[in-house]
Amino acid sequence: MASLINSEALSTFLQYSKPQTTLDLASLAAIGVASATYLVKGTPWNRPDPYYNQWFERPQFKDGFQSNHPAATRNIAEKLEQTDQRVVIFWGSQSGTSEIFAHKLARECHLRYGVDAIALDLSDYDPETISQIPDTKLAIFILSTFGEGDPSDNTAGLWSWLHKGQPTVSLPTLQYAAFGLGNSNYKYYNRVVDVVVESLEKAGAKAFMPVGKADDANGGTEEDFLAWKTDLFTVFQEKLGCQEREIIYTPALAVREDPSLEPIDLHHGVPIEQHSGSKGKSVKTSPIRALAVTEARELYTTPTRNCVHLELDLGSHSELRYKTGDYLVVYPIAPDAEVDGLLRALGWQEKAETPLLISALEEGAASNIPSPTSANAILRYYIDICGPVARDIVKDLAQFAPTPDARELLLTLGKNKDAYQTFTRRNYVTLGRLLSLAAPGVVWKDLPLSYLLETIPPTQPRYYSIASSSIISARRLAITVGVEKKPLADEPSTEIKGLTSNYLLALSNSFQKTETSPLYQLAGPTSALEGHKIHAAIRKSKFKLPTLPSTPIIMVAAGTGIAAFRGFIQERTRLKSIGKPVGPMVLFFGCRNPEEDYLYRQELEEARAELGGAFEIVTAFSRVAGQKKQYVQDAIRYKANDFCALLDQDASLYVCGRASMAREVGKTVQDMLMAQHGWDEPQLRKWSDSMKRGSKWLEDVWG
């Protein structure tokens, strides 16, 4: 019986298991292919694409250049051996100046003294491999200090490693030199290079020359670097036996015209995301986006200054988020007059939009300019043609001079510091203006674009404190932009115009449909900024309110330094309105005149009324007719008892504005505390260090 049932079941199964339709046949075929794929693991077709690497190949390695280049390494010693370099120049840079100095120095070492040198981003290599650099090599560190004595993002790995101390860090064979970039207006002037040098010495490294330091307080960075570089080359001559030779420009980058490219293939000026190496990749800054300006108004206008308030919409960019106290990073555009003047001097007016390919010609050469692009995009968006031309560049330009008179002038200015300073007191020498002044109406046909790319710093974005609270307007932020009209000392009619501030002023004027000067291509590259937009990003900040809103806060600001505090005050006012306990707040604010530049005065008065006794405003005015000049430090001194009492109540102290103001405020606060508590210097230092470590004393300063 069982056998009969099994036979019938089998017969029925076979009957219905036969393919009945075309769909059945297709299904069986698909199952067969899937089974075969599983069994052979893709062997018949899983062969490497011989051109796969080209998806990721650097442009400078195409066309056969360095086709046998060794695989990338994060070991510094290996890199030096692979490239046969005698000197390694490490750079730690936030704004790009240290990077520019490092690359220029590396090329000059090679061209002037025949010393093979390479400039390297610190974050591209593992810092512990510095210990493997042999004593036959030299290391040079060019390091910037920014913020409250902070290292640049790409120095973070070295900074952390050095702080591990001995015995982890041991450098008995390292011979080094160091140069720091800082500003003596800041409390922690050149702290980064000081800390790094101290750590290197403790680890057994040997300095082969004194540490150099640049002070940008009066714009002396370039001259300080030139003086230190002269001492470095003296060491090369006396200790290494190097002979100086005449420098003849040899391009490290190739710039080739390629009319076959279509406009759609080019980089027309949209900012390129710049990141450090894999270990130093910054997560502090958001992606760059075109943000719409939804409101623009002037806060005040005087013959020498303007101040505008801009509000921007984040609504269409869900990936962007800001917190109260963060920065808006703004990417500027060069004015038409500077771009057109330089194109005319170079003879590139008719070829401004011709497609250009940029590639490296030698090891270590790099360009921050995307390729392919055009001369117009390079000058308008990618290199800073509006900054003053450094003296060493003026001297180098003489080799390209189109006339004997131009050559003589440039050599005189480049070699003679006094002549250069006298000339620049009468003329604000941007590159275009310098070329026109040296050879009026003559084309500099021998000056190659490659030289400009290798020499002129890339255009850097500017940071603005966000002047709004994220808990009140999460998708809309504000910034406060001060615009100064600074005439040259000897020529009051000649103004030095800030690049980004004047660009934003022009944008504000266009929003209000008023005329502006200078003119800008406000629509941006390929009209990407049409409709009152700017290219910008959001950068995280440490300048934050205390976690507990009941914590007392003291805010000290001058001028546009009040921007971040506007967001602080908005936030606490909202918290108070919903029943949250809010600690006492005092704002010390300084400006010139209450009728002229008292920023956000009405808003502040309204907040004081809402907050009642929880918010006090103490003002200081420095330009009131018939009254003695008062600055914020004077106002603090006048309220010394209340100020110190708040600090004793665990208040957080914030200072925002120019570095010189912050320095004076710091001195005043320390003097008051020593007088109030009878402290000596060690006790004061202990308190100050504790406040800094606990983020209870924060500064957001510039200039």
Q: What is the pLDDT of residue 14?
A: 41
Q: Where are the alpha helices (DSSP H) in 549-703?
A: 563-577, 601-611, 632-638, 640-648, 659-677, 681-693
Q: How many residues does the chain have?
A: 703
What is the spatial distance between Cα 335 and Cα 519, in angstroms, rounded to a whole number? 6
What is the spatial distance between Cα 365 and Cα 379, in angstroms, rounded to a whole number? 20
Q: What is the pLDDT of residue 164?
A: 84
381 with 336: CB under 8 angstroms? no
Q: What is the pLDDT of residue 245?
A: 84
- 577 phi and psi angles, rounded to 5 deg: -70, -20
What is the spatial distance between Cα 139 and Cα 293, in angstroms, rounded to a whole number? 47
Q: What is the pLDDT of residue 1?
A: 42
Q: What is the pLDDT of residue 23?
A: 52
- The identity of residue 492, as a single letter, is P
Nearest partner of 634 among 608, 678, 672, 673, judged by Cα: 672
Q: What is the pLDDT of residue 494?
A: 60
Helix (H, G, I), strand (E, B) or coil at 346: helix
Q: Which stretches in the chain have pLDDT values below 70? A: 1-71, 274-283, 363-364, 487-496
Nearest partner of 91 among 180, 169, 213, 190, judged by Cα: 180
Q: What is the pLDDT of residue 361?
A: 86
The DSSP call for residue 184 is T
519 with 550: CB under 8 angstroms? no
Q: What is the pLDDT of residue 57?
A: 37
668-687 pLDDT, tens per residue? 999 999 999 999 999 999 99
What is the spatial distance between Cα 310 and Cα 293, in angstroms, rounded to a whole number? 7
Distances (CA, A) of 341 to 379, 485, 604: 11, 21, 45
* Domains of the chain, earliest start first: 76-239 (3.40.50.360), 283-332+461-541 (2.40.30.10), 337-456 (1.20.990.10), 553-702 (3.40.50.80)
336 with 316: CB under 8 angstroms? no
Q: What is the pLDDT of residue 550?
A: 96
- 622 phi and psi angles, rounded to 5 deg: -105, -5
191 with 149: CB under 8 angstroms? yes
Q: Where are the alpha helices (DSSP H) in 351-430?
A: 375-377, 391-397, 404-415, 417-426
477-507 pLDDT, tens per residue? 999 999 987 766 555 546 667 899 999 999 9
92 with 151: CB under 8 angstroms? yes
Report the DSSP pairing between strands 476-487 and 495-497.
antiparallel
Helix (H, G, I), strand (E, B) or coil at 100: helix
Nearest partner of 174 among 262, 80, 256, judged by Cα: 80
Q: What is the pLDDT of residue 50?
A: 34
What is the spatial distance between Cα 232 and Cα 142, in angstroms, rounded to a whole number? 13
Q: What is the pLDDT of residue 283?
A: 61
Q: Please, which residues bridge with residue 697 across strands?
A: 653
Burial pattern 157-189, b for ≥16 Cβ within 10 A else e, equals bbbebbeeeeeebebeebbbbbbbbbbbbbbbb
Report the DSSP pairing between strands 175-182 and 206-207.
parallel
Q: Look at the block and give the residue holding tokens 């620049």.
A: 424
DSSP for 502-513, please give it: HHHHHHHHHHTT
